[in-house]
Amino acid sequence: MIIRRFNARELGSALLYVAGYCALFLASCIVLIQFSSGAQQSGPLLRNTALFGIVATVAGKVLLGSITRYPGVETNSYVLPAFSAMFGTLLLFLILGRFEYSRALLLSGYTCAVIWSYVWNMLPRRGKALRIGIVPHGHYAPLQQLDMVTWVVLEHPDQDVSGLDAVALDLRSDPGDVWERRLADYALAGLPVYHSKHLMESMTGRVELETLSENSFGTLSPISAYMAAKHIIDWIAALLAVILLSPMLLLLVVMIRLDSPGSAIFRQTRIGTRGAPFTVFKFRTMTSRQAAQDDRAEAMTQADDKRITRLGSILRKSRIDEVPQLLNVLKGEMSWIGPRPEAEVLSRWYEVELPFYRYRHTVRPGITGWAQINQGHVAEIEEVLSKLHYDFYYIKNYSPWLDILIVIRTIRTMLTGFGAR
């Protein structure tokens, strides 16, 4: 008989989560009250909204935990839908019950819950790491290479699993009748049993492809309805951004021309949706091209590249050099978020060397993307293969929730300069 015991560490973690949310929400309430003309009437509204907001946040956290069984990056993909569902239910309850509440404070509570959950999931976990048992059947060796988990190989079905958080098994294998009955016991006792391949994808944010039949490649086809809606949102957001950023863009054009000779805008042929070439725009960050350079070498940016200008180094680290690609978004050639478009000469090379490379062209390339925030800039074949696995993960999990996570992590990337060359 397997008994799941109460975990005091989990309770402590939950209390810290709620305390962090309350502190963030209280700070937002103080700011709102300071700038509100009706601050003297906000006492009852604040109490009602704060109480209901905490209840909705706790319920959202519970819902998030129940629908995200796999640890790792997959959890963040469900943050927004989980809290949207709970706060939407709360709003309906407040309206039907005719309770007094502040719309501004309720919106602030929802925003704080979403932001704090993303931040919480990014914080390094103190205490012991996850302990996951591995049933030694099928393809399980790659799991043991992940250092974020303590792996315990289950040598026999009767081995003690009381200290484990989950069990992983390659469900494509046949572990035998004894193990199958034991796995059913684990599930009935509330001990999660993970498919090793899905667990690997969730914890690394990568989809590794070996053969079409083995990986059910059809599941990587993006949702066409969301693709169309995203294209409209991309275009509207790009138009507004171009209008608002025009003064800064003009100033950068002048600064680039003064910093080094040559055009302020760099143009390059890259491969876009469905393998169609297009001209991408960027702020020039390198010295002018020399005719003697090899085309493939010229297209690659190496670490500490001597061609990068003084201003170009700053533009690259902050990702500001990518801003002119808003014009590509307006032309329908790119999206705000998607696999980064590669230079045509490099893309043709990768297509020859790497299987399935062309499948990354099923969605519009993006100004930022899942591979960019996880791996950064790459050029060599081995690195590109690793980056390709991140692109496949994005396409397989193509959704607004993943896009929002990428936006948040892109901001962190812009502040740290991760992956810039």
3-state secondary structure of 286: strand
Domain-embedded: residue 94? yes
- Assess whether 89 and 145 both reside in one domain: no
Q: Euclidean distance between the first and final Cα of the chain, in Å?
A: 56
- The answer to whether residue 245 sits within a structural domain is yes
Report angle CA 361, 364, 367 to the nearest 5 degrees. Answer: 115
| Number of separate domains in the chain | 3
Residues 239 and 292 placed together within one structural domain of the fold: yes
Q: What is the pLDDT of residues 293-330, one digit of tens each?
A: 556 656 666 556 678 888 888 888 888 889 999 999 99
- The residue among 233 and 304 whose pLDDT is bigger is 233
352 in the same domain as 257: yes
Answer whether 21's CB lies under 8 Å from 115's CB: no
Q: Are residues 56 and 92 in the same domain?
A: yes
> Which CATH number characterizes residue 138's domain?
3.40.50
345 and 402 share one domain: yes
Torsion angle of alpha carbons 47, 89, 227, 320, nearest 10°? 10
The predicted structure's pLDDT at residue 191: 83
**Same domain for 118 and 143?**
no
Domain that holds residue 154: 130-204
CA 98 → CA 89, 91, 208, 293, distances in Å? 14, 10, 52, 72
pLDDT for res 345 = 87
On whether both 233 and 199 belong to a single domain, the answer is no
Residue 331 has pLDDT above 90, yes or no: yes
Please tell me whether residues 378 and 318 are part of one structural domain.
yes
Q: Are residue 267 and residue 355 in the same domain, yes or no?
A: yes
Does residue 209 belong to any structural domain of this protein? no
- Can you list the alpha helix ranges (DSSP code H) found in 260-332? 295-299, 310-318, 326-330
Encoded tokens for 340: 């980064």
How many other C-beta atoms can be found within 10 angstroms of the C-beta atom of residue 150?
14
210 in any annotated domain: no
Task: Specify the pLDDT at position 254.
Answer: 93
Domain co-membership, 110 together with 139: no
Instruction: Please determine, for residue 98, whether its predicted confidence score (pLDDT) is greater than 70.
Output: yes
Q: Is residue 102 part of a domain?
A: yes
Write out pLDDT tens, residues 265-301. Answer: 999 999 998 888 999 999 998 886 654 455 665 666 6
- The alpha carbon of residue 203 and the mean position of all alpha carbons in its chain are separated, in whole angstroms, by 12
CA distances from 414 to 119, 320, 368, 370 (A): 16, 9, 11, 14
Residue 421 lies in a domain: no
79/184 same-domain check: no
- Give the 3-state secondary structure percentages of the chain, helix then strand then coil, rounded to 5: 60, 10, 30
DSSP string, 96-151: HTT----HHHHHHHHHHHHHHHHHHHHSPPPSPPEEEEE--SSS-GGGGG-TTEEE
Amino acid at 175: P
**Last residue of a domain, which of 99, 122, 145?**
122
Worst-scoring range by mean pLDDT, 113-122, 149-158, 241-250, 315-324?
A: 113-122
Q: Rounded distance, CA 162 to CA 6, Å?
A: 11
Instruction: Look at residues 122, 139, 168 and tell me which one is the last residue of a structural domain.
Output: 122
Report the pLDDT value the prediction gives residue 176, as an integer from 0 to 100. Answer: 82
Asked if 81 and 161 sit in the same domain, the reply is no
For residue 297, the model assigns a pLDDT of 59
